[in-house]
Amino acid sequence: MRYRVRHITEYTYGAPVSLCYNMAHLLPRDTRNQRCLNQKIQINPPPVYQNDGEDYFGNQTFYFSIQEAHKKLVIDVTTDFEISPLNVLQWQMQSTLTCGQLRAQLSNPNTPELRMAKEYLLDSPQIRCSEDLKAYALSTFTDDKPVLQAALAFTHKIFTEFKFDPASTTVATPLEQVLKQRSGVCQDFAHLAIGCLRSVGIPARYMSGYLETLPPPGQEKLVGADASHAWFAVFIPELGWVEFDPTNDLMPSDQHIVTAWGRDYADVTPLQGVIFEGGGSQQLAVSVDVKRV
Amino acid sequence: MQLQTGTFITSVIDEKPTLSSAYDKPINAYDEAFTEDRQPRAHWEALLRNISNLSDEEMLDRQRRAQRILREDGATYNLTSDPLTPSVWSLDLIPNIIPTDEWLEIEQGLAQRSNLFDLILKDLYGPQELLKNGIIPSEIIFSHPGFLRQCHGVMVPGAHQLLHHAVDLVRDHAGQFQVIGDRTQAPNGAGYALENRTVVSRVIPNSFRDSQVRRLAGFFQSFKNMLTSLASQWTDTPRIVMLSPGAYSSTYFEQAYLSNYLGFPLVQGSDLTVRNGAVWMKSLNGLARVDVILRRVDDAYCDQAELRADSFLGVPGLLEVVRAGNVVLANPLGSGILEAPALVKFLPAISEFLTGKQLTLPSVATWWCGDKDDLNYVIANLSNLIIKPAIRSHSSNSIYGHTLSEKQKLNTIEKIKKAPHLYAAQSYVPGSMSPIWLNGKIQARPSLLRAFTVANPTGYTVMPGGLSRAGESTKDSIVTNMSSSKSKDTWIIAAEPEAQSNLITDQVLLQDEALQANLPSRVVENLFWMGRYAERAEISMRLLRTIFKQMNGIDPLPEESRRMLLEMASTQTGCLPGFMEADEKLLANPEAELVSIITDGSRAGSVKANLQAMLSCGEQVKEMLSADTRIIINELRDHIHELDRAYTNGLPSAPEESLDSLVTSLLALSGLNHESMLRGLDWTFQEIGRRTERALQTATLLRSALTTPLSSGPQQQILESVLLSVEALISFRRRYRNRARVAYGLDLLMIDGTNPRSLLYQVEQLRKYIRELPRNETTTAGLSPENKIILKSLNDIQLADLEELAKIDPDSQSRLKLEQLMTEFLAQLEQFTVLISDKYFDHTAGPQSLTEAIRGTNV
């Protein structure tokens, strides 16, 4: 499948900003089934300094700094992808490693992969393990269950027990609150799942990217109506990192486009940085368009 | 020294004096100075003999001298932000002595340790073989906040990543040195070691000379060479700056001292800016490229753009400049991970894995609670251990097992069990006993040693010495922090005398001078304000002194004069409403308000507030002040304390005298500026501050004192008071005899160019100074705005008709013209200070974070 994704981020400031330094995680990376064919990033006003690189997690980074006064900052990224489907059904049938076995392997790791996977068992900037999270997940991840089946069941559990409600949370809503109110958006569900998995000793990481959406039957698809998306992945030694999307109750295959991954949202914030002067009331508009080509 | 218990006992045996121990044999600890049979160790003999030849008084006298030198050097360890009461660095006269052969072993061990830490740093931010191979359990690194993933793959050019390193050592009871901790981000202490050496060698010069002590200068030269080499890929003459967290950081003295000694400007985060992919210092001449930063700011606080956004100490965008290879930080960002206490346990295995060698200098036994067996051991032996949280912070210090109650022990175990991988434990080594001079006698106290290394092209250079510290009480036998301990010089006794080495070679000096001339504008701004506050304080005090004299005169003061004088005190200090439109009651009992105007430091404009503000500015530019200036500043501090004492119970009996010593100190300060300071930009800006403030104060005084006409007696009294306050009464009487006309007063105070306190004099000086400022070119648009405004003020004063000014306007019953002129003059000068400060000082508001609001939404 080939896609073209256009992601436009637009900051509008109440007063002119004289100087800014920004680190962006907006350029998608390659994965085992995803290849970026073309990539174009346009920033306005044009940066006086820019540099692309790769972060600790292997994600693409784009650093830029603007030194002219501006009231509006536009970052326009267009990427073409080729994505091949993953045989998730086969994995579901074949993967037999149980939660108990995985936990045992992790407590006495004997391969580099297992040792490095421990990074995703620990607390991260926005996700802390807790007794509540553990309690919510424990019955799903019993020792005898295969990890993949358990993660799939847990994905379904979140999908059925949580309500998708953009008004109910903000970026700052803590996990405990999300768990209590049983509602949130994809980022909350991904963080929640990761927190639960880590709390029961299963390594999990945060996936950020896009999802192709289809318009209601008979209607034309609106440009910019797609959105950035978040889901999670679980480390299963025989398969590597296996992804799950609790917002849509499925295992991503070729409709999920990956931008970056990390321990949580903080590692892959689309745009972080500082501005000097001006700012005041910042307004942010994001438009994402995912198109098959 | 007297021969009695508790002090040295000298006796004569075989014509050769021998010394026996001054204190009882320490229990279960190594004694640095004395052997098992209580005889001085060979390397201590010379010093102990020298000291024993001193009487108690002589010893005390030297101790006092040392404290005085430290205070005059401004050697403080600030624990509070109060500029009035900094804690003076505490130094014991008796050094810690280590013989050369023993030191050689330690030196090798330290260099080996630094080398190993360097390899660890390279691995953790590179291939991570130590983690992949399970040599270090990965969660130790992954869970440590000092592991900065943002720094992955960022490498310092040259052979080393770890550029300097501090190692804390103690001796166990057998005398073997063990490492108890490492500092790898921004190690402090080397500057204090240098200051200790300077003081001790001055106070006990004989002992120092006789002992063939190894010099420290070579180490600092290596330090300087290391920093200079860091930017060698793009420049042979790098601009090196020292990045400080600011004047309120506890080790600010050390930073100022070291930056001066090494010849680098001391800057703060806001003095630097990132532009066009490089780091620049904001200076009066514009932006100046910075190549190397010796930092005292901790890792996470260095860059608000990529690291902690809430930092006030960093330079936004710094990390990216490092990543692009356009500036080098020493130590590199991310080096704090090496301070993880659990790492110590794995050092032998790491050394084996990375170098195939064993460490010759052992570390103290360490357990990591993330390991089940270790956890059980720690729980069972808590009383004998020090628990070290992986994350060092102000709220989570080391826990000393032996100090815990049973309940506290249970709590601690609970805490550890919740996140065992975040705790390490060390066995408790009380440290060796060193002799210190305390309460008039020699006593034994537990001590530890901080040693320092710095990278050189082939390995590491070790400072032949270090910072020794000894506890002041015997009770808590480990020396935990700087505040409750005495520091000591550390003498490595050389086998033979060392060749002298001077730190600064001529070549380096020349290069530094050119770079030093460029000061951060913050420094200059502080000097400008220091001048202003000094002047402001001086004039208020002079006026208050005059008021006290008039009020306590032989004849009772007429009501009219009394009211006017008190109102002038309020107007001049800006402590309003004060006596303005005061009722009879307040005028009859002005004491409390006068006391407040003088001693209430929290009241803006009060004498004390101005002096405090002046001292604060001085603190900020400590490294720029001369030794004599520091002496006067210390005196000022003392005088302020005296003032507080004198005013505890209201006005003292002779209040007019209470301010004399302060006024004298301020005069000394201004005299010193004139006589001893080079006429650089720093001087010019301080002078601009002074002159502007004096003009403002004098104009304020003239306006408040002379606008309202009084009947002839009181009018004369007020005019005399004004003249007395500005030190002009004698000249006035000589010139005009007893004809006390207002117009004559104005002549002397406004337009007499020979009176250094007249308005004309100030403005003429200002006009001269601004011509010397950089970026003062006359453009096609004509004179610069600050030039214009000064010229206008000059004209206004010169063209004034004094008789007209002194006339009383019949409608308003006031000297309206005088009031108008002074008001306009004041407004112009205020405008002038704004122009100067906008043009030359940095007023960038701090950075703000981008709103973090991009969030996933979905169908």
Q: Which chain B residue has its CA at the smallest distance from A265's CA?
A: B855
Q: B628 and B723: one domain?
A: no
In a domain, B80, yes or no: no
Distance from the A112 Cα atom to the nearest Cα atom in chain B, whole angstroms: 4
Range of the domain at B726: 678-845
Distance from the B857 Cα atom to the nearest Cα atom in chain A, whole angstroms: 6
Q: Which tens digit of pLDDT belongs to each residue from B421-431?
A: 999 999 988 88
B-interface mutation test, from A68, A274, A283, most B Cβ less than 10 A away: A274
Where is the domain boundary, B608, B641, B676? B676
Q: B672 and B685: one domain?
A: no
Distance from the A87 Cα atom to the nearest Cα atom in chain B, whole angstroms: 24
Instruction: Give the CA radius of gyration of chain B.
Output: 32
Question: CB-based burial of residue B541 (10 Å sphere; 0-12 exposed, 13-18 middle, 19+ buried)?
Answer: buried
Q: B698 and B840: one domain?
A: yes
Distance from the A22 Cα atom to the nearest Cα atom in chain B, whole angstroms: 7
Q: So what's the pLDDT on residue B673? A: 86
In a domain, B462, yes or no: no
Angle of CA points A160, A166, A170, to nearest 5°: 115
- Inter-chain CB pairs, A–B, below 8 Å: 138
Q: Which residues of A touch B132 (CB under 8 A)?
A: 112, 115-116
* A21/B317 touch (CB, cutoff 8 Å), yes or no: yes
Alpha carbon distance B52, B443 (integer Å): 14
Q: Which residues of B touch A276 (CB under 8 A)?
A: 316, 844-845, 847-848
Q: So what's the pLDDT on residue A215? A: 77
Distance from the B131 Cα atom to the nearest Cα atom in chain A, whole angstroms: 7
Q: Is the ipTM of this complex over 0.90?
A: yes
* A164/B134 touch (CB, cutoff 8 Å), yes or no: no
Q: Which residues of B touch A67 (CB under 8 A)?
A: 275-276
Q: Mean pLDDT for each consecutive 10-residue tract of chain B (859 residues)?
A: 39 44 83 92 90 88 91 73 68 94 96 98 98 97 95 92 97 94 94 94 88 92 94 90 90 90 91 95 88 96 93 95 96 96 96 97 96 96 91 70 91 93 91 89 91 97 95 61 78 76 44 59 91 96 95 87 95 93 90 95 94 91 86 92 92 92 94 85 92 97 95 92 93 86 94 95 95 74 87 96 94 95 96 90 78 46
Domains and CATH numbers, chain A: 2-83+269-292 (2.60.40.2250), 88-253 (3.10.620.30)
Query: Shortest CB distance from B858 goes to which of A20, A185, A271?
Result: A185
Kindly report the number of other CB atoms within 10 A of residue B517's CB atom: 14
* B857/A230 touch (CB, cutoff 8 Å), yes or no: no
Q: Which residues of B touch A206 (CB under 8 A)?
A: none
Contacts of B507 (CB under 8 A, 6+ apart): none
Q: B671 and B683: one domain?
A: no
**Percent above pLDDT 90 for chain A:** 83
Distance from the B292 Cα atom to the nearest Cα atom in chain A, whole angstroms: 20
Alpha carbon distance A23, B634 (integer Å): 48
Query: Shortest CB distance from B852 goes to which of A171, A211, A277?
Result: A171
Angle of CA points B574, B587, B584, to nearest 5°: 125
Distance from the B277 Cα atom to the nearest Cα atom in chain A, whole angstroms: 6
Q: B602 and B694: one domain?
A: no
In a domain, B230, yes or no: no
In a domain, B553, yes or no: yes
Alpha carbon distance B685, B678 (integer Å): 12
Query: Shortest CB distance from A56 goes to which of B152, B320, B849?
Result: B152
Q: B708 and B568: one domain?
A: no
* B856/A229 touch (CB, cutoff 8 Å), yes or no: yes
Q: Which residues of B touch A51 (CB under 8 A)?
A: 277, 320, 323-324
Q: B824 and B769: one domain?
A: yes
Alpha carbon distance A18, B131 (integer Å): 44
**B577 preceded by a cis bond (ω within 30 of 0):** yes
Which 8-state DSSP code applies to residue B748?
A: I
Query: Shortest CB distance from A49 goes to which of B150, B276, B857?
Result: B276
Question: CB-based burial of residue B781 (10 Å sphere; 0-12 exposed, 13-18 middle, 19+ buried)?
Answer: exposed
Q: For residue B704, which amino acid is it?
A: S
Q: B668 and B688: one domain?
A: no
Pairing of strands B278-283, B240-244: unpaired
Those residues of chain B whose CB sits closer than 8 Å to some CB in chain A are 128, 131-134, 138-139, 142-143, 149-150, 152-153, 274-277, 304-306, 309, 316-317, 320, 323-324, 421, 844-845, 847-859
Which 8-state DSSP code applies to residue B747?
A: I
In a domain, B742, yes or no: yes
Q: Which tens digit of pLDDT belongs to each residue from A235-248?
A: 999 999 999 999 99
Q: Which residues of B touch A269 (CB under 8 A)?
A: 852, 854
Q: Which residues of B touch A56 (CB under 8 A)?
A: 149-150, 152-153
In a domain, B253, yes or no: no
Q: Which residues of B touch A49 (CB under 8 A)?
A: 276-277
Q: Which residues of B touch A55 (CB under 8 A)?
A: 149-150, 152
* B132/A116 touch (CB, cutoff 8 Å), yes or no: yes
Q: For residue A54, which amino acid is it?
A: E
Token look-up 């606008």 returns B707
Alpha carbon distance A83, A32 (integer Å): 9
Q: Which chain A residue has its CA at the smallest distance from B273's CA?
A: A19
Query: Shortest CB distance from B317 goes to which of A65, A185, A284?
Result: A65
Q: B686 and B621: one domain?
A: no
| Residue B20 structure tokens | 């026996």
* B850/A11 touch (CB, cutoff 8 Å), yes or no: yes
In a domain, B244, yes or no: no
Distance from the B266 Cα atom to the nearest Cα atom in chain A, whole angstroms: 24
Query: Shortest CB distance from B858 goes to which of A57, A65, A186?
Result: A186
Total tally of structural domains belonging to chain B: 2
In a domain, B651, yes or no: yes
Query: Shortest CB distance from B139 goes to which of A122, A164, A190?
Result: A122
Q: Which residues of A touch B134 (CB under 8 A)?
A: 109-110, 115
Res. A226: pLDDT tops 80: no
Q: B598 and B712: one domain?
A: no
Q: B707 and B789: one domain?
A: yes
Distance from the B33 Cα atom to the nearest Cα atom in chain A, whole angstroms: 49
Give one DSSP letter per residue of B592-655, joined into a string. Answer: HHHHHHHH-TTSTTSHHHHHHHHHHHHHHTGGGS-HHHHHHHHHHHHHHHHHHHHTTTSS-SSH
Angle of CA points B597, B599, B603, to nearest 5°: 60
Note whether B764 and B695 are within 8 A (CB): no
* B847/A9 touch (CB, cutoff 8 Å), yes or no: no
* A115/B844 touch (CB, cutoff 8 Å), yes or no: no
Res. A159: pLDDT tops 70: yes
Q: B835 and B800: one domain?
A: yes
Query: What are residue B468's phi and psi, to 5 degrees?
Result: -95, 145
Q: Which chain A residue has its CA at the smallest distance from B324's CA?
A: A51
Q: Which tens digit of pLDDT belongs to each residue from A164-212?
A: 998 888 888 899 999 999 999 999 999 999 999 999 999 999 999 998 8
Alpha carbon distance A170, A166 (integer Å): 8
What are the E-state strand segments in B142-262?
164-171, 177-183, 240-244
Note whether B84 and B637 are within 8 A (CB): yes
Where is the domain boundary, B676, B699, B720? B676
Q: Which residues of B touch A119 (CB under 8 A)?
A: 138-139, 142
Mean pLDDT, chain B, whole residue set: 88
Distance from the B852 Cα atom to the nearest Cα atom in chain A, whole angstroms: 7
Q: Which residues of B touch A213 (CB under 8 A)?
A: 858-859
Where is the domain boundary, B611, B644, B676? B676
Distance from the A231 Cα atom to the nearest Cα atom in chain B, whole angstroms: 10
